[in-house]
Each structure stands twice: as structure tokens, then as C-alpha cells.
Amino acid sequence: MKLAIPFLIILTLCVSSCKEKSNPVADNNSVESRVEKLLGQMTIEEKIGQMTQAECNQLTSKNDIKDYALGSLLSGGGSPPGTNTAQGWADAYDDLQKWALQSRLKIPIIYGVDAVHGHNNVYGATIFPHNIGLGCTLDADLVERAARITAEEVAATGIDWTFAPCIAVPQDERWGRTYEGFGETAELQKIFAVAAVKGFQTASLAGNSSVLACAKHYVGDGATTGGKDQGNVLYDEAAIRAKHLPGYIDAIKNNVGSIMVSYNSINGSKMHGSKYWITDVLKKELGFTGIVVSDWNGIDQLPGDYKSDIETSINAGIDMVMVPGAYKSFIVLLKQLVTEGKVPVSRIDDAVRRILKVKVQMGLFEKPFTDRSLLASFASAAHKAVARECVRKSLVLLKNSAQTLPLNKNIAKLFVAGKHADNIGLQCGGWSISWQGLSYTATPGTTILQGIKNTVSSTTQVTYSQNGAGAAGYNAAIVVVGEQPYAEGSGDRTDLSLSAEDKLIIQNVKSAGIPVVVVLISGRPMTVSSEIDNADAFVAAWLPGTEGQGVADVLFGDYPFSGKLSHSWPKAMADIPVNTGQQNYLPLYPYGYGLTY
Ligand code: BGC
Ligand code: BGC
């Protein structure tokens, strides 16, 4: 039987190139037997290759994909594999896949990317609000549709796997990744983990636009002391299980195909080395049968040298390692560890089985290349309409004195101020075209200012001023201020007040004595008590993405406000952490708060 499998693979590749439809995934038994047959053909080098995930632009040569039989590639934030268009990604993907299919056993690669709010690295993609805003919609069906559309755009570029959803439960707004989670409670984590996994994967991983989901970061990423990124969690196990684990349990029940291990430590031990949490809890107790992937260079943070990092992390239960550049030394050292008996072959086989199972389930052997027909709906009007709906439903109205909102579309003279009003980069935030995000219009979209202009009557005079000077004589003003983009630890802050520049813009407008509506663009609640006091109306708009029209839709009353706070809103820095359910809970606005018309 030894020759049967390669022969079958060649045959099925030929079938797919002959454009015949095949049903890639039959029942579980046939998946399992295909995996076992393939595993039986593999050398130890080939098995280790499958466990290796390299960053596309860190390959020394594309030959390495074939020569090392690499199992996976990824694109890091802002690191496109080719020309940064949907077509360019698809072309690059197919090229890289061809290299993989030249390896001895012709096992396709699985390619991952951080599509965390739409296919956000790709120029022109539909960019949705970040998860913190989606959490405020309380609309699981909408979030499932958003994930479905994201998957369609991801699949249109050939990519198989998204490192999403992030189901962190952020407890401390000082954390730079607060916006990546859906909100501060396990309740939101559970609802939206399931919605997102269903949307990405659909009922079958074999679907032509199904994309492998990855619940991350397991576990406790949102619970670090002081909200420090990659920091230490000082909770006891019961608290972690109650607040940070429930979303994983539900994601597993809904067949999430992969889970990413978190950089954080729990009581001083790094998750990447935790056999207890990865093998005993995740794989054995919760029955997770998919791929456990490490985070980017995550194993490097374990104590000891690189070789011992590999030993500890693989023995802890990690199946695939996001190396992302050190793939050659990773492969050499893991092979040594196996030869020396320090990593059992049974552990390697467990990892490779999980990886191959997902590849078989996805139908990658039969359909290794991009389905170009999906490109037709990339960033379509229908996709953007759903992103716009997400924006509308994510907005939270915190204050509305004297019914300042909704504004009348026939208002004679409207003043718009603040640089966040007319800047796609600022309204998208981090993980948008680049890893850290961009503070200029780096991709097409509708800015909030354009949305306002599209909405008011043809007789309305709209004046835009970045610094807010000259508002006297206008009937009302909309001031859009907020944070600069950031991602991960670069967004950790000890001060969440507005910049002096933004405060001045609000003051300038306020001094004109006209009604002032403040719209805040931010990845988390900010300490803006006095700005809220001074505004007539105040809206938390989070990081809405490319479809800024959704903001105007609600400000002018075409739709009501319906968003409810996914985070308790602190009065001042000294209140943080402030989370629902805690003793002496005294936020400025409680979790779940939100006015409507
Ligand atoms: C990559 C990101 C990655 C980060 C990790 C960056 O260079 O672009 O995708 O998350 O490094 O530190
Ligand atoms: C982040 C992950 C991300 C990975 C790949 C890491 O720095 O923590 O969330 O999936 O990079 O970009």
C-alpha cells in the first residue's frame, strides 16, 4: 500500500485541474484513514515540516517550502505576500501553493493571516468595526454575517486560515489589545465566539468560502496585571475558568478548527510551556481535536535556550509553531530532540494528525488553489452594506442633552471638526493595512465627514475644520476626536485622556456657543468625564472601519442608537480596572449602558 497515497494525491490534483467537482470530505472515518495512510508515509523531517509555520516574507527561498515540506505559511500584519490587491494575494498564494505541491508527498500548505476585522491587510477590503464595537451590537446574527463576509474575502485571495476571533475578555482598559475582544464579560465572549466561528467556518470546512477559524489567545490574555500586554495573570484557576475559558468551551462545541496559545503567563508560568492548560485542560478535558498553534515567536519567551523552548512547548502540546523566521533552526533542533528521545514520536504524530486532519477536512488536497470566482464579490456593495450595519449598531450614545441628536438633515449650517472626521486610517485603528494601523487614508472607504455630507440636504452648508476654529454662527457642530492607531503592546497606556490637541479642538468649538456633538474614535473607553460634561451629546464610536457612513446614518436619525456598552466606562484612571460584578462598582457608565432616541 505504500505507493497508494502519493498516487491518489496526484490523481486528485489532476482531477481538480480538470475542473471536475469532487466531494473532498466524506465521513470522519475516511478523513481518519486518509490521515493515517499519509502519516504512515512520512519521514520524521516531513512530520516536523508540517509543524512549522514560517512568515512568507521571511523565507530565504521559496524552495524551502518544498525542501522542508513546510506545513504552513503566514503573513504578519502589513506583510502582503505579493502585490497588495486581492488579485495579487491570490496570485502569490497560488504560486506558494505550487511550491508546496512539489514536495515529495505533495501536501498543500495552509496559509494564515490576521483577518481580525475584515481581510484587513488587503488594500480595498471591507473593513468592519473592531470587536469591541461588535460587542456593543449584542447581535450575534450580525457578527456571524460579518465573519461570513470576511471569510469570503479571505477565501477570494486563496488564504485558508484567519487568526480570529480574538475572544480575550479584557479586564483593564490600559491594555493595548482591549479593542480586539468583544467585551469585558464571559457572556459576550461566549455569544460572539460562536457567532464568529460559525461565520468563518460555516457548517463544513470544505465549503468553497469556508476559512479555518482560530480562537485566541488561550488563555487569560485579557486578565494580566495592569493590563500589561503579554504580562502575568495573578488569578486563581477558578477565576480563569469562570471568566476566560467559557468562550473556548463554546467555540470547541462549534468545531473551531484551531486555537492560538497566548503570550501571557499565569502565576508566573508562560502559557506556551503549560502542559496543564494545553494538554490536560484543552485537549483532554475539553476534547479539542483541532490544531494548537503558538503565537508569533511565542515559544522564544520560555526560559532557557531555543532548543529547550522547543522541547517544553511541543511537549506541552503545541502542534504548530509560528516561528516565523527561524524555521531552519526550529526544524533542526526539533529533529535532534526527537532523536535524543526528549520529544516522543507519539507527540509529533499527535501534532501532525491534527494538522493533516484539518487539511483533509478543508478539501485542500483536492482544491489547493484559489477559487477565483470569489473575487467578484470582494469588497462588493453588499459586503460594505453589512459593515455599515455593524457600524450603526455598534455606536453607543452616552449623553444626549435637550435632544441634541438626532440632527436635522435640513440644518442650514453644520460645522465638522477634528482630524478623526476625515481619515480612514484613524477610523480603522490597528491591524489595518499595516500591523500598527495608519494615520492617513491608506485604503478606500467612506470617512465620517463624507458620510455626513452624503446625508444632509443639498442646501446644508457643511464646513470642515481640523482644529475647530471658526464655529461661531453655525447651527451645530460634530467634533470627531480620539486615539491614534496602535496594535498590541504599543497600545498599552497609563493615561487614557484625550490629547491636548483634541481637547483644544473641543474647546474651540464649544467657545462658539453652539450645540456640540462629540464622536469618540477609540479602541476602549477613555477618561473623558469633563469632555462629556461639556458636550451636548456624546457618542462612543469605537474603531468603525471603512464604512463611516454608518455614523451619519444614526446621527441624523435614519436609524436609532441601539448599541450597549461592552465595557464599563471609567470616570478616571484610578477607577481602572472597573468591571461589572466587582465590589464597589462605581463606573461613570455601567456595562450595558446606552441611550436611544
Ligand atoms: C508582524 C505582526 C506580528 C508582530 C509580532 C510584526 O512584525 O507584522 O503580524 O503580530 O510582528 O511582534
Ligand atoms: C499576535 C497574534 C497574531 C500573530 C500573527 C502576534 O503578535 O499576538 O494575535 O495572530 O502575531 O500576526
CB 517 within 8 A of CB 477: yes
Q: 135: Cβ below 6 Å to ligand 2?
A: no
Please give the grid coordinates belonging to residue 108.
Answer: 498543500
* pLDDT tops 90 at residue 203: yes
Q: Of 139, 180, 295, 319, which is the active-site residue?
A: 295
pLDDT tens digits, 17-71 = 333 334 444 456 799 999 999 999 999 999 999 999 999 999 999 999 999 999 9
Please give the grid coordinates belonging to residue 228.
Answer: 500589561
The CA dihedral of 96, 53, 101, 12, to the nearest 10 degrees, is -120
pLDDT tens digits, 71-84 = 999 999 999 999 99
CA 119 – CA 141 distance, rounded (Å): 19
Q: Which ligand is nearest to the CA of 58?
A: 1
Indicate the top mutation candidate among 57, 116, 163 to test ligand 2's pocket, ranked by most ligand atoms within 8 A of CB: 163
Q: Compute the distance from residue 49 Cα to the ligand 1 centre, in Å.
A: 22
CB 534 within 8 A of CB 508: no
Using CA atoms, how far residue 279 sits from 272, 292, 501, 531, in Å, is 11, 10, 50, 49
Residue extent(s) of CATH 3.20.20.300 domains in the chain:
53-377
Question: Which 8-state DSSP code applies to residue 52?
Answer: E
Q: Compute the distance from residue 76 Cα to the ligand 1 centre, in Å.
A: 5
Please give the grid coordinates belonging to residue 572.
Answer: 478616571
Please give the grid coordinates belonging to residue 232.
Answer: 502575568
Percent share of the chain, pLDDT over 90? 94
Quote the mean pLDDT of the chain.
95
Specify the DSSP element, H or E, that contains 158.
none
- Provide the residue type at 261 as one letter: V
Q: Tell me the pairing of strands 269-270 and 265-266.
A: antiparallel
Kindly report the CATH class assigned to 53-377. alpha beta
Please give the grid coordinates belonging to residue 130.
Answer: 473592531
Q: Compute the distance from residue 454 Cα to the ligand 1 centre, in Å.
A: 37
Q: Compute the distance from residue 491 Cα to the ligand 2 centre, in Å.
A: 14
Q: What is the distance between the terminal CA atoms of the chain, rounded to a whole angstrom? A: 70
CATH of domain 395-575: 3.40.50.1700
pLDDT at 298: 98
* CB neighbour class for 67 (10 Å; exposed up to 12, middle 13-18, buried from 19): middle
Q: 176: Cβ below 6 Å to ligand 2?
A: no
Strands (E), 302-379: 321-322
CA 177 – CA 166 distance, rounded (Å): 10
Nearest residue by C-alpha to atom 4 in ligand 2: 296
DSSP per-residue codes, 257-273 = -EEEEPS-EETTEEGGG
- Secondary structure of residue 111 in the 3-state scheme: strand
Residue extent(s) of CATH 3.40.50.1700 domains in the chain:
395-575
CA 550 – CA 447 distance, rounded (Å): 10
Q: 114: Cβ below 6 Å to ligand 2?
A: yes
- Secondary structure of residue 92 in the 3-state scheme: helix
Query: Considering only CA atoms, which of 185, 130, 144 is closest in space to residue 566?
Result: 185
DSSP per-residue codes, 328-390 = HHHHHHHHHHHHTTSS-HHHHHHHHHHHHHHHHHTTTTT--S--GGGGGGTT-HHHHHHHHHH
- For 280, list phi and psi in degrees, rounded to 5: -70, -45
pLDDT at 29: 74
pLDDT at 27: 57
The CA dihedral of 222, 224, 229, 231, to the nearest 10 degrees, is -140
Q: Tell me the pairing of strands 265-266 and 232-233.
A: parallel
Q: 129: Cβ below 6 Å to ligand 2?
A: no
Q: Of 114, 180, 422, 488, which is the active-site residue?
A: 488
Q: Tell me the pairing of strands 461-465 and 413-417.
A: parallel
CB 489 within 8 A of CB 430: no
Active site residue 250: no
pLDDT at 382: 98
CA 339 – CA 409 distance, rounded (Å): 73
Please give the grid coordinates belonging to residue 420.
Answer: 478623526
Indicate the top mutation candidate among 114, 119, 130, 434 to test ligand 2's pocket, ranked by most ligand atoms within 8 A of CB: 114
Residue 419 C-beta-side C-alpha neighbours within 13 Å: 15
pLDDT tens digits, 151-182 = 999 999 999 999 999 999 999 999 999 999 99
- Secondary structure of residue 517 in the 3-state scheme: strand
pLDDT tens digits, 257-291 = 999 999 999 999 999 999 999 999 999 999 999 99
Q: Compute the distance from residue 172 Cα to the ligand 2 centre, in Å.
A: 20
Active site residue 488: yes
The CA dihedral of 320, 324, 328, 329, to the nearest 10 degrees, is -80
